[in-house]
């Protein structure tokens, strides 16, 4: 019987490799597979009645309402040109420092990650905006591409990250299920706000590691000019383009951490604040609002379509005995709880090569998280481990998503091998941080 859910997973992988859309593949393949299984008595057709309830549950989930709001906030800051001005002003601030431009890119990349929350958007924005400038100013090609690709992945871990919002929702459900399976009825909960707080120290450690490596790498590079701009800093311009986004991010996160607002309410504050910043920078008009709204709607629709497809897959996977398969795998592993954890992290890392974080959050995590939580692992710690692990996966050659995003916006004179070589030191930093937070949970908790 355990072979049947394995066949379902195999069929979905084949369909994805052929090139069918993820959301439609997850839902369509699962439903067709279930229909074939009904005559053989493997699948109970009454399970289909749960599909509308699941879809309604996703669309009625208040936590997930934060997703389109955070996307709208990030889209406004991206399309208004504020990101480019942030880089220019930050470069001016570090003009007297050796390698100052690269330092400013890490700081701006972290701010963009916190404001957009989407890896692809940050990598593409930074690739178009800063990569040509870095190379023109004398930085090595491999270092420049590695820096841009790695700072782009910070959107995975720095709150308010879309990935953490989705992980928070999934981990909350997985934690409740694990407690039910253990017979615990006085249940504890985990929230998106808990994950935001847990991600702060790992995010700061990763950014600090990047900064130390960048300063060390460029300290002896005599080719660096770092005269990106000759104009002096206008304090009012600096405030408009640098201080306002920072204030906005602190307002969003501060309102969550202080317990004043839920992540959804804070996302609304962020969306409104982003519009106010664009207005101060004289970017707001009807055409701009229309473009940003359409972009936010398209990305949000894509995410929610995948969530619905993943929910249908999860329902049918359990209906054909998927839980028994997962239980068998965990019982077959030698060693204790940490062996199971490392096994899952490796699987998630490898799946990060072919699946985006949305599919992993809603397809893989609901399957593997409950058994791990039953070992006694903390749900917040586990979620942040998944996030950092995926961030490393998206950066790792030859299939890392960030590398593909960057390759798509780089000039032809930059070789793919140079991109791969450039990211290796940044991957090493992330692996060190991953090991640190694995063995020192206090850094998250």
Cα(26)–Cα(3) distance, rounded to whole angstroms? 19
Q: Which of 68-72, 335-339, 366-370, 383-387 has the lowest mean pLDDT?
A: 335-339
Q: Supply the pLDDT for residue 36.
A: 92
End-to-end CA distance of the chain: 40
Averaged pLDDT for residues 76-102: 74
Q: Which of 118, 71, 33, 89 is nearest to 401 (CA)?
A: 118
pLDDT of 382 higher than 60: yes
Contact 122, 112 (CB under 8 A): yes
Q: Supply the pLDDT for residue 119.
A: 62
Tell me the pTM: 0.81
What confidence category does residue 384 fall into, taking pLDDT thresholds of 50, 70 and 90? very high
Q: What is the pLDDT of residues 403-433, one digit of tens each?
A: 877 877 777 778 888 888 888 999 999 999 9
Calculate helix-pair angle for 141-152, 192-218, nearest 10 degrees. 170
Q: What is the DSSP letter of 360?
A: I
Q: Which of 369, 381, 354 is nearest to 323 (CA)?
A: 369
What confidence category does residue 444 fall into, taking pLDDT thresholds of 50, 70 and 90? very high
Q: Which of 145, 156, 131, 177 is nearest to 318 (CA)?
A: 177
What confidence category does residue 116 fall into, taking pLDDT thresholds of 50, 70 and 90? low
Q: Supply the pLDDT for residue 442.
A: 92
Contact 178, 370 (CB under 8 A): yes
Q: Supply the pLDDT for residue 66.
A: 83
Q: Supply the pLDDT for residue 438.
A: 92
CA atoms 6, 11, 17, 19: torsion sign: negative
Q: Supply the pLDDT for residue 325.
A: 82
Q: Supply the pLDDT for residue 57.
A: 85
Inter-CA distances, 233 with 85, 89, 92, 136, 295, Å: 12, 7, 7, 22, 33
pLDDT of 226 higher than 70: no
Q: How many CB atoms are located within 10 Å of the residue 297 CB?
A: 14
What confidence category does residue 118 fall into, taking pLDDT thresholds of 50, 70 and 90? low
Q: What is the pLDDT of residues 229-249, one digit of tens each?
A: 555 666 676 666 777 778 888
Contact 241, 281 (CB under 8 A): yes
Q: Supply the pLDDT for residue 198.
A: 92
Q: What is the pLDDT of residues 153-204, one digit of tens each?
A: 887 888 877 788 888 888 988 888 888 888 877 778 888 888 989 999 999 9
| Torsion, Cα of 306, 309, 314, 319 (10° steps) | 180
């Amino acid at each position: 019987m355990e072979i049947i859910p394995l066949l379902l997973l195999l069929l979905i992988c084949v369909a994805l490799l052929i090139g069918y859309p993820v959301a439609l593949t997850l839902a369509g393949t699962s439903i067709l597979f279930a229909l074939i299984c009904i005559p053989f008595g493997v699948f109970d057709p009454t399970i289909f009645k749960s599909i509308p309830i699941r879809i309604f549950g996703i669309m009625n989930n208040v936590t997930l309402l934060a997703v389109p709001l955070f996307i709208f906030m990030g889209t406004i800051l991206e399309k208004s040109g504020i990101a480019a001005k942030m880089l220019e002003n930050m470069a001016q601030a570090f003009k007297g420092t050796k390698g100052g431009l690269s330092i400013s890119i890490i700081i701006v990349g972290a701010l963009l990650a916190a404001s957009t929350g989407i890896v692809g958007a940050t990598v593409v924005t930074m690739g178009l905006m800063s990569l040509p400038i870095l190379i023109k100013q004398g930085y090595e090609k491999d270092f420049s591409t590695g820096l841009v690709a790695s700072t782009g992945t910070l959107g995975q871990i720095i709150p308010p990250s879309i990935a953490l919002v989705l992980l928070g929702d999934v981990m909350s459900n997985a934690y409740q299920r694990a407690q039910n399976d253990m017979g615990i009825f006085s249940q504890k909960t985990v929230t998106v706000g808990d994950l935001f707080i847990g991600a702060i120290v790992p995010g700061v450690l990763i950014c600090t590691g990047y900064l130390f490596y960048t300063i060390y790498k460029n300290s002896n590079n005599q080719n660096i000019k770092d005269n990106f701009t000759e104009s002096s800093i206008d304090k009012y311009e600096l405030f408009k383009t640098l201080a306002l986004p920072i204030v906005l991010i602190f307002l969003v996160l501060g309102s969550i951490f202080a317990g004043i607002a839920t992540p959804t309410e804070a996302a609304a504050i962020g969306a409104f604040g982003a519009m106010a910043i664009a207005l101060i920078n004289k970017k707001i008009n009807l055409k701009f609002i229309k473009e940003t709204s359409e972009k936010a709607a398209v990305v949000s629709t894509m995410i929610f379509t995948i969530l619905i497809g993943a929910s249908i897959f999860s329902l049918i996977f359990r209906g054909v005995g998927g839980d028994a398969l997962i239980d068998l795998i965990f019982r077959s592993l030698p060693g204790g709880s940490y062996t199971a954890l490392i096994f899952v992290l490796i699987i998630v890392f490898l799946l990060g090569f072919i699946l985006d974080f949305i599919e992993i959050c809603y397809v893989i995590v609901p399957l593997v998280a409950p058994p791990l939580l039953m070992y006694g692992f903390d749900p917040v710690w586990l979620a942040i481990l998944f996030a950092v692990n995926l961030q490393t996966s998206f950066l790792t050659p030859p299939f890392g998503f960030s590398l593909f995003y960057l390759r798509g916006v780089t000039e032809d004179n930059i070789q793919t091998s140079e991109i791969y070589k450039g990211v290796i030191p940044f991957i090493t930093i992330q692996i060190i941080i991953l090991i640190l937070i694995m063995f020192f949970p206090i850094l998250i908790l």
